[in-house]
Structure 1
């Protein structure tokens, strides 16, 4: 549980810092206010996918002991976090290029796509682990109530 809490805290700090970077970098480079750049998306991805989702997973861990399936939980944790980091890094890179008036490349889109694939894989593994944990909790509840399945 401490790993989830620490990761959520780090995402909160990096998410807030990315918002500050977005605001100051666009001002510094006289980027027109209101014009789209992916820098703002990095801020929301880090706060939502990193901070908020991991706090929700922390609550699920407390309720269902998802990490009891150690291998599944480790796969979820590393796949998901790699996806968040890779996706957010590509948003910052692409957004910075936009602010600087540079062309983005297909490579950036491809790497961002890989980040989204890792996020998806991590979410699937999370649901497999959650399903097992909920099943264990249900069996334990029925057993403690004296109900035979």
Structure 2
């Protein structure tokens, strides 16, 4: 549970700092307000996919003991790699946009890989959660045992 809390806290700080970077970097470079850049998306991705999702997983861990599953470790590494890779590509692409540079197809490809890792991580999480719920159901007393 400590790892989940720490990771969630790190994403909170990273999300807030990315929002600060977005605001100051665009201002410093005279980027027109209201123009589209992916820097703002990095802020929301880090806060939502990093901070909030891992807080929900922390509650699920507390309720169902997800970390007892071997899949949970795979989820944690895969999902975090996806969040970091996706956010890094958003910052890179957004920074290039603010500087007036063109982003090549490599950035889109790497961002796509980040999204694939996020998807794989979520599949691992749901599989681990399904198994934990099944394990809990199997351990629950039968209705006849409750009446006795």
TM-score normalised over the length of structure 1: 0.95
Number of residue pairs matched by the alignment: 146
Match of 2:80 in 1: 81
Q: Distance in 2 between matches of 1:88 and 1:145?
A: 52
Match of 2:104 in 1: 105
1:1-149 equivalence runs, <5 A: 1-69=1-69, 71-142=70-141, 146=145
Unpaired runs of at least 5, structure 2? none
TM-score normalised over the length of structure 2: 0.96
Three-state SS of the structure 2 residue aligned to 1:142 is: coil
| RMSD between superposed Cα atoms in Å | 1.3
Unpaired runs of at least 5, structure 1? none
Per-residue deviation, residues 9-55 of structure 1 (Å, max 9, x unmatched): 00000000000000000000000000000000000000000000000
Aligned-pair CA distance for 1:102:
0.2
Three-state SS of the structure 2 residue aligned to 1:35 is: coil
Aligned-pair CA distance for 1:62:
0.5
